[in-house]
């Protein structure tokens, strides 16, 4: 009989990237195959079932309500390089020059 219960629908899912040691990685995928569920589901269920048994953690969690997730890091903005249009002349130093009234030959 599997330790992990059947899937419930309608939960909000967030993305989290982590590393696992090779043995845990293999075990995760083996158990997911055994259940016929994706590895993400197995990880979520492991957290739900194992941590629900930690009485000390549950007491601590009640005493420390609220979110403990790290704040999202600000997205680094890339400096946009403005490329001049076809009607703008640029000298060798990259400085824009006003277009002349007659085309340059």
pLDDT at 10: 74
Backbone angles phi, psi at 103, to 5 degrees: -65, 145
Q: pTM higher than 0.75, yes or no?
A: no
Summarize pLDDT for 96-105 with one digit per residue, the tens.
Answer: 666 666 655 5
Spans of all domains in the chain:
13-65
Round to whole Å and give the CA distance between 82 and 13. 38
Summarize pLDDT for 25-36 with one digit per residue, the tens.
Answer: 999 999 999 999
- Smallest CA-to-CA distance from 35 within 46, 21, 24 is with 46
Round to whole Å and give the CA distance between 22 and 69. 26
Round to whole Å and give the CA distance between 35 and 2. 8
Is the CB of residue 31 less than 8 Å from the CB of residue 42?
yes
């Amino acid at each position: 009989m599997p330790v992990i219960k059947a899937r419930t629908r309608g939960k909000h899912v967030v993305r989290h990237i982590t590393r696992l040691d090779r043995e845990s990685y293999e075990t995760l995928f083996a158990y997911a195959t055994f259940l016929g569920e994706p590895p993400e589901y197995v990880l979520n269920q492991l957290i739900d079932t194992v941590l629900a048994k930690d009485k000390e953690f549950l007491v601590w969690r009640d005493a420390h309500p609220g979110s403990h997730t790290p704040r999202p890091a600000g997205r680094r903005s890339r400096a946009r390089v403005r490329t001049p249009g076809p009607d703008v002349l640029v000298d060798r130093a990259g400085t824009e020059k006003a277009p002349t009234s007659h085309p340059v030959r």
